[in-house]
Amino acid sequence: MDFYQVIETRRSVRSYKPDPVPEEVLKKVLNAARIAPSGSNRQPWKFIIIKDEERKKKMVELCEGQSFVAEAPVLIVACGRNIHYNRGGWMGDYSMIVDVAIAVDHLTLAARAEGLGTCWIGSFDNEGIKKFLGIPEDVNVVALTPLGYPKNPDVFKPTSDRKELEEIICYEEWKD
């Protein structure tokens, strides 16, 4: 699949078929996250793969009742270790989050290329998930995504729900 077609047709998928994701496809998608860039190549991430139905149900509660989280056969919890980066300035505190976000984006795009749906989940109970999944103190959850085949494959359509390019760029200096 053409790269631009992948990014233009990746959509948030909130309804899934129960069909399993073949293990080799899951590994391909996870590998896309593995090879993502990170500050000083620190790779602060860890991805917890949940397939167990009971566990997924509990995760719905920990994701503010978003029931589709348990509908896909796979739920991925993207975590990051709060390591100290060399990056100075105000970005320092956010470096781990930036790195994990890049890896998750790799993952969602690779999933789309494989015909799989994802949905970035940012509304969740970090402390509750940490306790439930035994995540260490110095690690936080950055995002979750279900992974599975969309119930309606027509969901993979380009969106018009974005600002125009002219609105988001300026040249040489800031302009409103």
Ligand X SMILES: Cc1cc2nc3c(=O)[nH]c(=O)nc-3n(C[C@H](O)[C@H](O)[C@H](O)COP(=O)(O)O)c2cc1C
The β-bridge relationship of strands 74-81 and 45-50 is antiparallel
For residue 160, what are its two tokens? Answer: 């018009």
Q: Which residue among 122, 134, 154, 164 contacts ligand X (CB under 6 A)?
A: 122
Residue 159 binds to ligand X (criterion: CB under 6 A)? yes
Q: Which residue among 50, 121, 141, 147 contacts ligand X (CB under 6 A)?
A: 121
CB-based contacts of 145: which residues, under 8 Å, 6+ apart? 75, 76, 78, 104, 107, 108, 118, 119, 120, 121
Residue 11 binds to ligand X (criterion: CB under 6 A)? yes
Q: What is the rounded CA–CA span in Å between residue 121 and residue 6?
A: 20
Q: What is the rounded CA–CA span in Å between residue 19 and residue 78?
A: 22
Q: What is the rounded CA–CA span in Å between residue 69 and residue 51?
A: 11
Please report, as residue ranges, which positions from 66 to 105 form the binding site for ligand X (by CB under 6 A).
Answer: 66
Secondary structure (3-state) at 45: strand
Residue 119 binds to ligand X (criterion: CB under 6 A)? yes
Query: By C-beta, is 40 or 159 nearer to ligand X?
Result: 159
Residue 111 binds to ligand X (criterion: CB under 6 A)? no
Q: How far is the CB of 122 from ligand X (least distance, A)?
A: 3
Residue 112 binds to ligand X (criterion: CB under 6 A)? no
Q: How far is the CB of 43 from ligand X (least distance, A)?
A: 20
- Please spell the DSSP secondary structure of 152-164, one letter per residue: SGGG------S--
Q: Which one of the spans 37-45, 47-55, 83-91, 119-127 is the region binding ligand X (CB under 6 A)?
A: 119-127
Q: Which residue among 6, 83, 120, 125 contacts ligand X (CB under 6 A)?
A: 120
Q: How far is the CB of 169 from ligand X (least distance, A)?
A: 19
- Count of residues in the chain: 176
Positions that interact with ligand X (CB under 6 A): 11-12, 14, 66, 119-123, 159
